[in-house]
Chain A
Amino acid sequence: MIASLCGANIWSSPELNKGKELYAQYCAECHGQGGEGVEDEFSKPLVGDWPLQKLTDYIGKTMPDYDPDEVKGKDAELVSRFIYQSFYQRPELFRKESRIQLARLTNRQFRQSVTDLFAQFEGQPVLSKPVQGLKGKYYNAEGMNKRKKMHADQIDPFINFNYGEKAALEGMNPKKFSVYWEGSVLPRESGWYEFFVKSPNGFELSVNRSIGPPTIDEKVTAGVLREKNTKLYLLGGRPYPIQLNYFKFDDPNASIELSWKTPVGVKEIIPSEYLFTQVVPPSFVSQQKLPPDDASHGYERGIQVDSTWDESITYAALEAAKFAGIRMLRLARTNEKDEKKREKIITFAKEFVRYAFRERLSAGEVDHYINSKFGEDVPLHISIEKIVLLTLKSPRFLYPEWQSLAKKNKDPFVVASRMALYFWDSIPDKRIHSLIDRDQLLKEWQVEGQAKVMLKDARTKAKFNDFMMHWLEMKNKELPTISLKKYPEFNAALALDLRRSLLSWIEKSIWEKTISWQEFLSMDQIQVNERIAKFYEAPYPAENNSSGFVELNASVTGHRGLFTHPYILASHSYAEESSPIHRGVFTARKILGRALRPPTEAVSFRNADFNPNWTMRQKVTELTKAANCMSCHDQINSSGFVLENFDATGKIRTQIQGKPIDLKVEYLDSKGEKREFQDANDLLQHALTSSQPAKSFISELFMHLAKQAAPSYDKLEINQLAKMLNEGELSIQELYLKLCFQGASDGFAYAK
């Protein structure tokens, strides 16, 4: 393998030959003849981003691990030079498949696609004029019709009212009144949301209902305070209609609260930033639990099928089929009296299958998937149920890359279905189908034009948010738990505020301000609300907007640099102390783009093992001083120690235990150059000027978008994109666009 890969020049050098011999003698047993790794020994390929000198030092000190004295000095240099030149820097040699692989839809792709399939007929919910809060219509109640006489209407930013014995508004009958709130709720992330309504009065809550009873039905009451709740799976970045019907009728007291608990969060009154006055159509969202996808390569991908998955998908398909059966008339835009009812329902079925299969259907396929399921004596909704069930279980729906692998010449459907997956994790919509039907997705400018349109869709934002949470290691992670004994004000509510501060800054910066890579890493602004401002001792303007968040210059709180956002720092802390190791790993990987291996031997940090008068820096230095630890910990520790001026909560400190803080670190970059960082800002400056962080960010982003490895694509130019990113020629939004566009059109021959 080596001979063929590395060329003759290597063998002409006697030094390298000597290195090769040493490698064969001391290393190959565990690392394989060509560095490919050995099962049960060191199974991973011998590749990495250390500079040669570091590799030499490391081998000299620690290898071979059964007797580190065997290879030292000159020998260590020879063998590491051989490793370095032959394969260490060439991970592509070890990639088993460097082409696009067949994969099933991931959970996110499945849910999103099914929801969007129905949205082709129900309408895509879009907030065209986002105004925060819910619209409240206030009625004096008379008789049975609670909404007969409207007293007033107004926008309420959130629902948390205690009217006591009084009426909701001045001038209303305090004994008998009702309020009807409506609008939409826009959750940021996908997951299970628990909704709560608390009141002694009558209420009825509907969230995203199109069929069946209200989500919570508590119209009947004897005036006793009670709280009811319900759980729903919602897709992030998508607005859902919400209605709260509330009425007081002779009860002694009146109050109402509308709260929720988000997937990562604590119960709270639904903040106004998630509520909007505009009413949108409901979406079908599968409530079926799905087993987690494979994430062994750092991104979720559908490379495995098993019976749990098959069964879950089947139940999800049944759920969708049942919905389609009930909602059939609406989906087909017809009614019981319509003479063309049957015809319209068959048309709906054809369209549904076509969108799901991301393809034009042949006459034979129409017969097979649709016509054969309708029969004179079969009720229409039974045919619809069957068609939806078969469609959503079909490989044509579940394996979206199958066409690209089956077709020699990639056609516009391949490009369109990839774009929909990469941008949104979904299916090409009606509009794209109609472009293809009119031959308007054949030329490069046409495809690129569509990519630009798709970039602006709310689903793109939702998917990028999902990536960001993954990249920032926040996805499905609990809120940081800092010791309330030591930091009584750092409670879950503050932690949740910080999470929002970070995510909302990213969302706003990427999509509204179209920031560059440099601006992204630098995070020159920080979003604070009153609670955050108070804790981190930042000024908070008296006037604020309804969400309560304002943007301050990050230097005011001392948190310039994405990695110093208090949420990230607190998430990488122990309950009472900062954790330079956790912070260091995060910063080295994400901000400096370094590849770190997991430790060969897991060592846990126990504070009690150390002299209590030591600083954290001293303790960690002691713990990781062994040479095999230091191979990675030199990078980790330096990236973590430089953040020691932030305490466990991420708040700036100038002293630790009455002593000034030693922040200065030495950092060995991937080219082998030693750098000195005086503080976090120096680290940031280095990250901004080196190419490694951008490259690593781009590959992670691409894997997340495509669920495939970047080297499988010929058109993808990661190095060039990284260069553009570094030089400020691309905003992050444009990067997203280019990645999707280049990846999706890979292998496609444009029409001239």
Chain B
Amino acid sequence: MKLNPIHRRTALKQLGLSSLSLPVLSQSSSLFAKDAKNAAPKQRLIVMFSPNGTIPDQFWPEKIGEDFEHKTILKPLEPFHDKMLVLKNLHNKVRGDGDNHMRGMSCLLTGIELFPGNVMGGGNTPSGWPKGISIDREISKHLQSQEETRTRFGALHFGVGVQDTADPWTRMSYDGPNQPVTPLADPYDAYRKLYGNVREKKQVRSVLEDLRGDLNKVANQLPESDRKLLIEHTQLVNRMDQEYANGSSLSNLTAKPPELPEGLRNQNDNLPQLGRLQIDMLVNSFVNDFARVATLQYTKSVGQAKMNWLDIDDAHHTLSHEPDKNKDAYDKLVRINTWFAEELAYLLKKLETTPEPGQKGSMLDHTLVIWTNELGKGNSHTLNHIPFVLAGNGFGFRMGRSMDCENNAHNRFLISLAHAVGHPLETFGNPALCKGGPLNLS
């Protein structure tokens, strides 16, 4: 996108870039003086998604400002109060094809309409994939285009309990029109992508002792002249043993890969552990600077996780359709959403206690985490009041408060994200929804 100088300046002013940059820059000013390239503070973005709307009166703080209160669902995030920014009254105003679950999910990060298409939504018009790129990929593309911010993967997409289907309900990241990005839903696949086949090597090594014994036994029963091949084979086994002993083939890792437990299956009952594994790998991949952008997607829009670990046997989406007066369903949904907040708290804690390699502060000081949802409320399917809870200081927003976004379109928020990483887009997604430019989050 081309901006003439005046526009650019206007845009920066609107964003309040000077104040935006301050907290981060001041931290690393000493480094900045020494080596401009190394001193640029790292900026990282994580988008965490949980589905099916929230329970608004147990979620949204009543107060606007620094002394906002933490109701039941946001209670687990209280320790991070000073690093949080709760965006109230921000709406997904993208209309057109697709039902609200589809648009809620696929327009969440793209801010643009879905193509007319063939996937039939619930009661509404059918749709195809969105018409544009999602903000996480846009930011990653921008960071990858510059040498100083380029990383091995750019962006990583983790899934927790995401089904094997490809449709607008299950994808939120897009590389462009009609280009869904598939999240890595199996931690073992993610592990292989990040660190190579370490796990497989370990598994192979665990049978090599038995195998040597086997080769020896068989060879001893053969006539002398036939043993040659088996002796050679045994040498290969020894060789493999030595080679595989080194584990990861990646050298220069800042942090060792997290321990991956054996045999955790990618199924509903394991969602809590699967999620934690994915979070551990996500943070580890940041420490190793494999990527600056990540998404963490719990199930999908219309996701039907059965949260047995919360003593809930009902499927999530089905529950979310229950009217408010169904007390049982209401309580369960509060528990479900609170659980997601706990998982977010785990992520934040992890980031907070991890120092940012080579730079001052913790990783949370360099990261912006966004927790969001495709709907404002499950049973009404509204796209208004989309939950956007931000945490971390990575993007220089003024944290420690709740903010009234004055019923604006969420596109403006997406633009602010781009501006915060020095990518001053004029519009993002549907231009008509971008009037007023980036939200002032400083």
Contacts and interface: CB of A to CB of B under 8 A. Distances in A.
A224 interface: yes
Contact of A390 (B115, B118, B210): B210
30 contacts: A101-B226, A141-B120, A213-B165, A217-B165, A219-B118, A220-B117, A222-B116, A222-B128, A223-B116, A249-B118, A249-B126, A250-B118, A251-B118, A310-B237, A311-B240, A314-B240, A318-B200, A318-B203, A318-B204, A325-B263, A389-B203, A389-B207, A390-B207, A395-B214, A395-B215, A395-B233, A399-B229, A402-B218, A402-B221, A405-B223
A223 B117 contact: yes
Contacts of A382: 262-263
Interface string B158-178: 000000111110000000001
A202 B229 contact: no
A220 B119 contact: yes
Contacts of A598: none
B207 A386 contact: yes
Contact of A406 (B129, B221, B237): B221
A250 B97 CA distance: 12
Contacts of B310: none
A144 interface: yes
Given A222-B116, A223-B117, A396 B232 contact: no
Interface in A397-446: 399, 402, 405-406
B17 interface: no
Which among B166, B221, B223 has the greatest number of chain A C-beta atoms within 10 A? B166
A319 to B, nearest CB: 10
B185 to A, nearest CB: 10
A540 to B, nearest CB: 41
B109 to A, nearest CB: 17
B229 A386 contact: no
Contacts of A368: 210
A700 interface: no
Contact of B222 (A201, A303, A390, A402): A402
Contacts of B115: 222
Contacts of B210: 368, 390
A573 B232 CA distance: 44
Interface in A186-204: 201-202
Contact of B226 (A102, A213, A314, A318): A102
Given A379-B262, A382-B262, A396-B214, A250 B116 contact: yes
Is the interface on chain B under 10, 10 to 19, 20 to 34, or 35 or more residues? Answer: 35 or more
A213 B116 contact: no
A221 B117 CA distance: 5
Contacts of A247: 118
Contacts of B255: none
Nearest to A390: B207
Given A213-B165, A382-B262, A395-B233, 16 more contacts: A102-B222, A141-B120, A221-B117, A222-B129, A249-B120, A250-B118, A305-B236, A306-B236, A314-B204, A318-B203, A321-B203, A368-B210, A386-B206, A389-B203, A394-B214, A399-B230
B265 interface: yes
Contacts of B203: 318, 321, 385-386, 389
A104 B223 CA distance: 16
A675 B68 CA distance: 107
A514 B169 CA distance: 57
Interface string B218-252: 11011100100110110011011000000000000
B113 to A, nearest CB: 11
A399 B180 CA distance: 47
Interface in A223-276: 223-224, 247-251
B167 A305 contact: no
Nearest to B131: A222
Contacts, number: 129
B432 interface: no
Contacts of A658: none
A393 interface: yes
Interface in A341-397: 368, 378-379, 381-382, 385-386, 389-390, 393-396
Interface in B187-230: 200, 203-204, 206-207, 210-211, 214-215, 218-219, 221-223, 226, 229-230
Contacts of A305: 229, 232-233, 236
B281 to A, nearest CB: 19
Contacts of A325: 263
A389 B178 contact: no
Nearest to B265: A381
Contacts of A102: 222, 226, 229-230
Contacts of B431: none
B218 A399 contact: yes
Interface residues of A, number: 52
B119 A249 contact: yes
Interface in B109-160: 115-120, 122, 126, 128-129
Nearest to B118: A249
A219 B240 contact: no
B118 A310 contact: no
A249 B115 CA distance: 13
Interface string A311-324: 10011001001000
Interface string A500-516: 00000000000000000
A221 B114 CA distance: 10
Which among B118, B168, B239 has the greatest number of chain A C-beta atoms within 10 A? B118
Contacts of B237: 310
Contacts of B226: 101-102, 405
B165 A144 contact: no
A212 interface: yes
A7 interface: no
Contact of B178 (A141, A224, A402): A224
Contacts of B118: 201-202, 219-221, 223, 247-251
Contacts of B129: 220, 222
A143 interface: yes
A13 interface: no
Contacts of A390: 207, 210-211, 214
A336 to B, nearest CB: 10
Interface string B316-351: 000000000000000000000000000000000000
A250 B119 CA distance: 10
Closest 4 CB pairs of A and B: A222-B115, A249-B118, A213-B164, A222-B128
Contacts of A249: 117-120, 126
Nearest to A217: B166
Nearest to A212: B164
A307 interface: yes
A103 B230 CA distance: 10
Contacts of A386: 203, 206-207
A310 B165 contact: no
Contacts of A212: 164
A152 to B, nearest CB: 21
B375 to A, nearest CB: 19
A206 to B, nearest CB: 11
A381 B168 contact: no
A318 B198 CA distance: 13
Contacts of A213: 164-166
Nearest to B166: A217
B119 A307 contact: no
A394 B211 contact: yes
A331 to B, nearest CB: 15
Contacts of B221: 402, 406
Nearest to B206: A386
A220 B222 contact: no
Contact of A393 (B207, B219, B222): B207
Nearest to A403: B221
Contacts of B240: 307, 310-311, 314
A202 B223 CA distance: 62
A220 B232 CA distance: 53
Nearest to A310: B236
A102 B164 CA distance: 45
Nearest to A402: B218
A143 B167 contact: no
